[in-house]
Structure 1
Amino acid sequence: MAEQAGVTVDAVDPDHAWRLLEGDPTAQLIDVRTRAEWSFVGLPDLSTLGRQVWPIEWLTFPAMAPNPDFLDAVAEALDRNEEGMPSRLFFICRSGARSLSAARAVAEAFGAKTGLARCTNVAEGFEGDLDASGHRGAVNGWKMRGLPWRQN
């Protein structure tokens, strides 16, 4: 766990993230993968919690270049949030690396001045780590753990 600008950045596995999202109606999940990943692989589904995932690219496809509008898009999503400032933001990507970077960037940019208390990385991500055959989705991750998700 690290603290940046007064905001805690920590990590939890997908099951724990789901339980925390269930128990906190103000918590929000930001999926930082690319549009291609959302379209072809799917998205976490928070509809049973009465919420939607906020899809905001951290890196843009196909160049995988940093999204220069990422922090502005997060600020816009926070401003539009009908529930007010979330008590906690969860960040998810394919396997947990990009989402950790995104969580740190949001913590640094917004800090305690916004009233945001925590930024949390969903370790393992949506698809999880590679298995012995070089495939994702069998070792760990949101989908492998059977958490709600949908495909477009």
Structure 2
Amino acid sequence: MPVEDVSPRSTWDALRTDPDALLVDVRTDAEWNFVGLPDLSEAGKQPVLIPWQVFPSMQVNGAFTEHLHRAGATPLSKIYFLCRSGARSLAAAQAAQAAGFPNAYNVADGFEGPVDGDGHRGTTAGWKASGLPWRQR
């Protein structure tokens, strides 16, 4: 089954209302540290931080699904995958589905979205541009 793209706002609503919903941020340590993280405290949750690719080699994390299990994800969990712009999170959601997590979703446009006319991210689409809570680490 193809992975469904879900808007950041719909993801936020699901995280706030569904106890089985998880947000898995698949960006790198550097991105978490220097760009920021979704702030899920209002939903009583924290983002699950599992890199899809390991910095600096950017090779796919061979232990990705093992980390999902360790984070408490089950086949019943609704797992929303987030990256910078929606590409890595789509690959991660596809891998999760293949590994037995059927309710895997891609957060459309990711945390920062595409580049705007001035070459900046975070202004036109994505988690930050949607006005959803986030914080610097």
Q: TM-score range by the shorter chain?
A: over 0.9
- Tell me which stretches of 4 or more aligned residues in structure 1 moved more than 6 Å: none
Structure-2 residue corresponding to 1:89: 79
Shift of 1:87: 3.3
- C-alpha contact 1:78 1:85 (8 A) present in aligned 2: no
RMSD (Å), alpha carbons? 1.6
Alignment of 1:1-150 (within 5 A): 3=1, 9-78=3-72, 86-111=76-101, 117-150=102-135
Normalised by the length of structure 1, the TM-score is 0.84
Indicate if the aligned counterparts of 1:58 and 1:70 stay in contact, CA closer than 8 A: yes
Q: Is the contact between residue 124 and residue 141 of structure 1 (CA under 8 Å) also seen in structure 2?
A: yes
The alpha carbon displacement at 1:28 in A equals 0.5
- Unaligned runs of 5+ residues in structure 1 are 112-116
In structure 2, distance between residues paired with 1:9 and 1:119: 7
CA distance in 2, matches of 1:85, 1:67: 20
SS of equivalent residue, structure 2 residue 99 = helix
Change (3 A) 1:72 1:87: closer
TM-score by length of 2: 0.93
Q: Quick one: distance in 1 between partners of 2:20 and 2:97?
A: 17
Identity over aligned residues, as a percent? 50
How many residues are treated as equivalent by the alignment? Answer: 137
